[in-house]
Amino acid sequence: MVSGPSLDEAAYVRGGATQTAVKILVVGHFAVGKTTFIGAISEIEPLSTEETMTRAAESVDDLKGVQGKTTTTVAMDFGRLTISDRVVLYLFGTPGQQRFVQMWEDMARGALGALVLVDPERLADSFAVIDLIEQYGLDYAIAVNRFDGSTPRDESALREALDLLDDTPVVTCDARDERSSAEALITLVRHLQDRAH
Ligand SMILES: Nc1nc2c(ncn2[C@@H]2O[C@H](COP(=O)(O)OP(=O)(O)O)[C@@H](O)[C@H]2O)c(=O)[nH]1
Ligand SMILES: [Mg+2]
Protein backbone atom coordinates (compact mmCIF):
# COMPACT_ATOMS: atom_id res chain seq x y z
CA MET A 1 0.00 0.00 0.00
CA VAL A 2 1.25 3.46 -0.93
CA SER A 3 0.40 6.35 1.36
CA GLY A 4 -0.06 9.50 -0.69
CA PRO A 5 0.97 13.04 0.13
CA SER A 6 -1.46 15.52 1.61
CA LEU A 7 -2.56 18.59 -0.32
CA ASP A 8 -0.28 20.80 1.77
CA GLU A 9 2.79 18.64 1.31
CA ALA A 10 2.46 19.04 -2.45
CA ALA A 11 2.69 22.85 -2.30
CA TYR A 12 5.31 24.63 -4.36
CA VAL A 13 5.92 28.19 -5.55
CA ARG A 14 5.40 29.13 -9.18
CA GLY A 15 5.38 32.68 -10.54
CA GLY A 16 5.56 34.05 -7.00
CA ALA A 17 2.34 32.37 -5.96
CA THR A 18 2.04 29.23 -3.94
CA GLN A 19 0.51 26.50 -5.99
CA THR A 20 -0.25 22.99 -5.07
CA ALA A 21 0.57 20.32 -7.62
CA VAL A 22 -1.73 17.40 -7.19
CA LYS A 23 -1.19 14.10 -8.91
CA ILE A 24 -4.47 12.46 -9.84
CA LEU A 25 -4.99 9.16 -11.63
CA VAL A 26 -7.78 8.87 -14.18
CA VAL A 27 -8.42 5.16 -14.28
CA GLY A 28 -10.85 2.75 -15.83
CA HIS A 29 -11.17 -0.32 -17.96
CA PHE A 30 -10.48 -0.56 -21.65
CA ALA A 31 -12.42 1.94 -23.82
CA VAL A 32 -14.18 3.61 -20.91
CA GLY A 33 -13.08 7.05 -22.11
CA LYS A 34 -9.82 7.89 -20.27
CA THR A 35 -8.00 9.31 -23.32
CA THR A 36 -11.13 11.20 -24.36
CA PHE A 37 -11.54 12.64 -20.85
CA ILE A 38 -7.96 13.88 -20.52
CA GLY A 39 -8.04 15.21 -24.10
CA ALA A 40 -11.20 17.19 -23.35
CA ILE A 41 -9.88 19.01 -20.32
CA SER A 42 -6.12 19.23 -20.51
CA GLU A 43 -4.79 22.78 -20.88
CA ILE A 44 -1.60 21.40 -22.35
CA GLU A 45 -1.51 19.21 -25.43
CA PRO A 46 -2.25 15.87 -23.85
CA LEU A 47 0.50 13.36 -24.09
CA SER A 48 -0.89 10.06 -25.11
CA THR A 49 0.81 6.83 -25.85
CA GLU A 50 -1.82 5.34 -28.10
CA GLU A 51 -0.71 2.56 -30.33
CA THR A 52 -2.63 0.62 -32.90
CA MET A 53 -3.82 -2.52 -31.25
CA THR A 54 -1.86 -5.54 -32.10
CA ARG A 55 -3.54 -8.82 -32.86
CA ALA A 56 -2.13 -10.14 -29.64
CA ALA A 57 -3.92 -7.47 -27.64
CA GLU A 58 -7.13 -8.06 -29.54
CA SER A 59 -7.46 -11.46 -28.02
CA VAL A 60 -7.03 -9.98 -24.54
CA ASP A 61 -9.03 -6.78 -24.75
CA ASP A 62 -12.75 -7.27 -25.01
CA LEU A 63 -13.96 -5.39 -28.05
CA LYS A 64 -17.58 -6.44 -27.82
CA GLY A 65 -19.86 -3.44 -28.09
CA VAL A 66 -17.03 -1.01 -28.74
CA GLN A 67 -17.10 -0.36 -32.44
CA GLY A 68 -14.50 1.77 -34.14
CA LYS A 69 -11.98 1.43 -31.34
CA THR A 70 -8.71 0.64 -33.05
CA THR A 71 -6.16 2.04 -30.63
CA THR A 72 -5.54 1.32 -27.00
CA THR A 73 -3.42 3.09 -24.45
CA VAL A 74 -0.31 1.04 -23.96
CA ALA A 75 1.13 3.12 -21.17
CA MET A 76 -0.74 6.23 -20.13
CA ASP A 77 -2.20 9.63 -20.92
CA PHE A 78 -0.93 12.79 -19.31
CA GLY A 79 -2.61 16.17 -18.96
CA ARG A 80 -2.82 19.21 -16.72
CA LEU A 81 -5.75 21.19 -15.37
CA THR A 82 -5.59 24.30 -13.17
CA ILE A 83 -8.69 24.28 -11.01
CA SER A 84 -7.99 27.38 -8.92
CA ASP A 85 -5.22 29.96 -8.25
CA ARG A 86 -3.78 27.45 -5.88
CA VAL A 87 -4.41 23.99 -7.20
CA VAL A 88 -3.02 22.43 -10.38
CA LEU A 89 -3.96 18.87 -11.21
CA TYR A 90 -1.54 16.61 -13.04
CA LEU A 91 -3.62 13.89 -14.61
CA PHE A 92 -2.31 10.43 -15.36
CA GLY A 93 -4.59 8.22 -17.40
CA THR A 94 -3.89 4.71 -16.26
CA PRO A 95 -5.23 1.56 -17.88
CA GLY A 96 -7.22 -0.81 -15.75
CA GLN A 97 -6.54 -4.07 -17.53
CA GLN A 98 -4.96 -6.60 -15.25
CA ARG A 99 -1.98 -6.96 -17.56
CA PHE A 100 -0.93 -3.41 -16.62
CA VAL A 101 -0.85 -4.20 -12.92
CA GLN A 102 2.90 -3.62 -12.65
CA MET A 103 2.52 -0.07 -13.91
CA TRP A 104 0.27 0.72 -11.00
CA GLU A 105 3.13 0.38 -8.59
CA ASP A 106 4.75 3.45 -10.17
CA MET A 107 1.60 5.33 -11.04
CA ALA A 108 0.10 5.15 -7.58
CA ARG A 109 3.22 6.60 -5.94
CA GLY A 110 2.56 10.18 -4.89
CA ALA A 111 -0.99 10.17 -6.20
CA LEU A 112 -3.49 11.92 -3.98
CA GLY A 113 -6.46 10.05 -5.39
CA ALA A 114 -8.17 8.65 -8.44
CA LEU A 115 -11.14 9.34 -10.62
CA VAL A 116 -12.60 6.02 -11.72
CA LEU A 117 -14.38 6.23 -15.07
CA VAL A 118 -17.21 3.75 -15.31
CA ASP A 119 -19.40 2.70 -18.23
CA PRO A 120 -22.85 1.97 -16.80
CA GLU A 121 -23.40 -0.70 -19.45
CA ARG A 122 -20.23 -2.58 -18.56
CA LEU A 123 -20.15 -2.31 -14.78
CA ALA A 124 -18.55 -5.70 -14.21
CA ASP A 125 -15.57 -4.51 -16.25
CA SER A 126 -14.86 -1.97 -13.51
CA PHE A 127 -14.44 -4.52 -10.72
CA ALA A 128 -10.76 -5.15 -11.52
CA VAL A 129 -9.85 -1.48 -11.54
CA ILE A 130 -11.66 -0.78 -8.28
CA ASP A 131 -9.80 -3.71 -6.73
CA LEU A 132 -6.50 -2.15 -7.85
CA ILE A 133 -7.46 1.24 -6.43
CA GLU A 134 -8.31 -0.28 -3.09
CA GLN A 135 -5.17 -2.41 -3.12
CA TYR A 136 -3.10 0.76 -3.45
CA GLY A 137 -5.10 2.56 -0.78
CA LEU A 138 -6.12 5.44 -3.03
CA ASP A 139 -9.17 7.56 -2.27
CA TYR A 140 -11.44 7.84 -5.26
CA ALA A 141 -14.63 9.12 -6.79
CA ILE A 142 -16.68 7.43 -9.49
CA ALA A 143 -17.47 9.27 -12.73
CA VAL A 144 -20.11 7.52 -14.79
CA ASN A 145 -19.30 8.24 -18.43
CA ARG A 146 -22.71 8.39 -20.00
CA PHE A 147 -22.26 7.11 -23.52
CA ASP A 148 -24.99 7.96 -26.01
CA GLY A 149 -27.93 5.63 -25.75
CA SER A 150 -26.93 4.29 -22.37
CA THR A 151 -29.80 4.05 -19.96
CA PRO A 152 -29.36 6.20 -16.87
CA ARG A 153 -28.90 3.82 -14.00
CA ASP A 154 -30.08 4.74 -10.60
CA GLU A 155 -27.29 5.63 -8.27
CA SER A 156 -28.16 3.23 -5.48
CA ALA A 157 -28.12 0.25 -7.88
CA LEU A 158 -24.75 1.35 -9.17
CA ARG A 159 -23.39 1.79 -5.63
CA GLU A 160 -24.54 -1.66 -4.76
CA ALA A 161 -23.14 -3.24 -7.92
CA LEU A 162 -19.74 -1.64 -7.33
CA ASP A 163 -19.92 -2.16 -3.56
CA LEU A 164 -19.07 1.49 -2.80
CA LEU A 165 -18.73 3.10 0.59
CA ASP A 166 -21.47 5.59 1.43
CA ASP A 167 -19.13 8.57 1.25
CA THR A 168 -17.61 7.69 -2.14
CA PRO A 169 -18.85 10.37 -4.55
CA VAL A 170 -20.65 9.28 -7.71
CA VAL A 171 -21.06 11.81 -10.52
CA THR A 172 -22.07 11.48 -14.15
CA CYS A 173 -20.04 13.04 -16.92
CA ASP A 174 -19.57 13.10 -20.65
CA ALA A 175 -15.88 12.46 -21.22
CA ARG A 176 -16.02 14.50 -24.43
CA ASP A 177 -17.24 17.57 -22.62
CA GLU A 178 -14.72 19.84 -20.93
CA ARG A 179 -17.07 21.27 -18.40
CA SER A 180 -18.66 18.10 -17.12
CA SER A 181 -15.26 16.40 -16.99
CA ALA A 182 -13.79 19.28 -14.98
CA GLU A 183 -16.74 19.11 -12.59
CA ALA A 184 -16.10 15.42 -12.01
CA LEU A 185 -12.49 16.20 -11.07
CA ILE A 186 -13.53 19.03 -8.77
CA THR A 187 -15.90 16.63 -6.99
CA LEU A 188 -12.96 14.28 -6.48
CA VAL A 189 -10.69 17.04 -5.16
CA ARG A 190 -13.36 18.20 -2.68
CA HIS A 191 -13.70 14.62 -1.50
CA LEU A 192 -9.92 14.34 -1.04
CA GLN A 193 -9.89 17.61 0.90
CA ASP A 194 -12.72 16.40 3.14
CA ARG A 195 -10.85 13.21 3.85
CA ALA A 196 -7.70 15.15 4.69
CA HIS A 197 -9.52 17.08 7.44
N1 LIG B 1 -20.55 8.54 -27.45
C2 LIG B 1 -19.53 8.64 -26.61
N3 LIG B 1 -18.37 8.11 -26.97
C4 LIG B 1 -17.34 8.22 -26.11
C5 LIG B 1 -17.46 8.87 -24.86
N6 LIG B 1 -16.26 8.78 -24.21
C7 LIG B 1 -15.44 8.11 -25.04
N8 LIG B 1 -16.08 7.78 -26.20
C9 LIG B 1 -15.54 6.99 -27.31
O10 LIG B 1 -15.27 5.69 -26.82
C11 LIG B 1 -14.06 5.18 -27.38
C12 LIG B 1 -13.09 4.83 -26.28
O13 LIG B 1 -12.63 6.01 -25.62
P14 LIG B 1 -11.12 6.20 -25.15
O15 LIG B 1 -11.04 7.58 -24.59
O16 LIG B 1 -10.16 5.86 -26.23
O17 LIG B 1 -11.05 5.10 -24.01
P18 LIG B 1 -9.80 4.62 -23.12
O19 LIG B 1 -9.41 3.28 -23.62
O20 LIG B 1 -10.36 4.52 -21.72
O21 LIG B 1 -8.71 5.65 -23.24
C22 LIG B 1 -13.54 6.26 -28.32
O23 LIG B 1 -13.94 5.93 -29.64
C24 LIG B 1 -14.23 7.52 -27.84
O25 LIG B 1 -14.41 8.46 -28.87
C26 LIG B 1 -18.73 9.44 -24.51
O27 LIG B 1 -18.93 10.02 -23.45
N28 LIG B 1 -19.73 9.29 -25.43
MG1 LIG C 1 -6.85 5.47 -23.89
184 Cβ contact partners less than 8 Å away, ≥ 6 residues apart:
115, 141, 143, 171, 173
Within 6 Å (CB) of ligand 1, which residues are found? 28, 30-36, 68-69, 72-73, 145, 147-148, 174-176
Tell me which of 35, 36, 178 to substitute to probe ligand 1's pocket, judged by most ligand atoms within 8 Å of the beta carbon.
36
Highest-confidence range of 27-41, 57-71, 90-104, by mean pLDDT?
27-41
pLDDT band for position 1 (cuts 50, 70, 90)? very low
Indicate the angle between helix axes 178-196 and 34-41, nearest 10 degrees: 100
Q: Which is more confident, 10 or 73?
A: 10
- Confidence at residue 49, expressed as pLDDT on a 0 to 100 scale: 64
Each residue of 111-135: pLDDT tens digit?
999 999 999 989 999 999 999 999 9
Domains of the chain: 8-196 (3.40.50.300)
- Confidence at residue 46, expressed as pLDDT on a 0 to 100 scale: 77
Does position 160 have pLDDT exceeding 80, yes or no?
yes
Ligand closest to CA 61: 1
pLDDT band for position 101 (cuts 50, 70, 90)? confident
